[in-house]
Amino acid sequence: MKTNYKTIIVSDVHLGTKGSKSKEIARFLKQFHCDNLILNGDIIDGWQLKKSGSWKRKHTRFFNRVLKMMESQSTNVYYLRGNHDDFLEQVLPLKIGKQFSIRQDYMLKSFGKKFFITHGDIFDSITSQMKWLAYLGDIGYTFLLWLNKWYNQYRTWRGLPYFSLSQTIKQKVKAAVNFISDFEEKLAELAKAKQADGIICGHIHKAEIKDI
């Protein structure tokens, strides 16, 4: 018996990159039923696919899982653009059939409350104004993921648990900590402006539930 949820939100899967956890997310979705599935940006990594990335069968399986949810559970799917899948800007807003749409953002109404859902890159001045620097940072992050993979293979061999190098570096570099704090403050202001009770975003790869 599968657990049923009204809405499941997923972001930053980065399909097309070596660091993508496409198998894990497909396995996760297989466990549940949901009425709405919101893909909150950077699901496909267009930046990497233009450069050194490659599309694998496991990346296709993620979308196969989404299609099965639409077919067998009548799940409504909303794909919101991120900065790595900004090629979607050329087609949005787009509705395909009754169950699939590509949008900029989404207002979720749940139990009398409203949550504004957006990828979050709108308030990242690096990705919105200095794209060349964002691409440079993307190269560094890709290297970090490669290093992380080999480091964790060594840790597995030693019988040690998974360790995220990227998260540890983000938490220790003062500029990154300040950036995340400023980013969250701006998003909270946007939620207020939209008269929403909260905001749900991705982009910075740091999972947290926070009152601001």
CA angle 57/89/44 to nearest 5° reads 20
Say how many C-beta atoms besides its own lie within 10 A of residue 75's C-beta.
Answer: 22
DSSP codes, 137-152: HHHHHHHHHHHHHHHH
List the chain residues with pLDDT less than 50. 126-127, 129-130, 132-134, 136
Hey, is 111 helix, strand or coil? coil
The structure's pTM equals 0.75
Tell me the sheet residues that pair with 106. 117
**What are the E-state strand segments in 63-208?**
76-80, 94-96, 100-103, 106-110, 113-117, 198-200
Measured CA to CA, the distance from residue 49 to residue 169 in angstroms comes to 25
pLDDT at residue number 108: 95
Looking at residue 134, the DSSP 8-state letter turns out to be H
C-alpha 174/C-alpha 180 separation (Å) is: 10
- C-alpha 166, offset from chain centre: 16
* DSSP codes of every residue in 46-87: HHHHHTT----HHHHHHHHHHHHHHHHH--EEEEE--STTGG
pLDDT at 6: 94
Residue with tokens 């570099």: 173
Summarised one tens digit per residue, pLDDT across range 177-207 is 556 677 888 888 889 999 999 999 998 887 8
